[in-house]
């Protein structure tokens, strides 16, 4: 049981490390290429508008 717990913690750590690296790389790319930053901001804005239009029972937490 101890070995399974260790492996689970190891995979969680590796996943968190990979996610952090991916996030840092994404931020670096967005700062390097401003059109990519504009595309991400526009996509987030469109997503927020679409979520605001959904009725409350379909995934909108408000």
pLDDT one-digit tens code per residue, 30-53: 889 999 889 999 999 999 999 898
What is the pLDDT, as a whole number, of residue 54?
84
> Is 17 within a domain?
yes
Alpha helices in the chain (DSSP H): 2-32, 34-53
> Is 60 within a domain?
no
What is the pLDDT, as a whole number, of residue 55?
76
Domain that holds residue 13: 2-53
> Is 45 within a domain?
yes
pTM: 0.59
> Is 59 within a domain?
no
> Is 58 within a domain?
no
What is the pLDDT, as a whole number, of residue 1?
87
Tell me the C-alpha distance between 21 and 40, whole Å. Answer: 18
pLDDT one-digit tens code per residue, 4-35: 999 999 999 999 999 999 999 999 998 899 99
What's the domain count of the chain? 1
């Amino acid at each position: 049981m101890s070995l399974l717990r260790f492996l689970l913690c190891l995979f969680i750590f590796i996943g968190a490390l990979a996610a952090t690296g991916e996030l840092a790389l994404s931020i670096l790319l967005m700062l390097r290429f401003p059109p990519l930053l504009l595309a991400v901001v526009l996509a987030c804005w469109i997503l927020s508008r679409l979520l605001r239009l959904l009725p409350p029972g379909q995934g909108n937490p408000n």
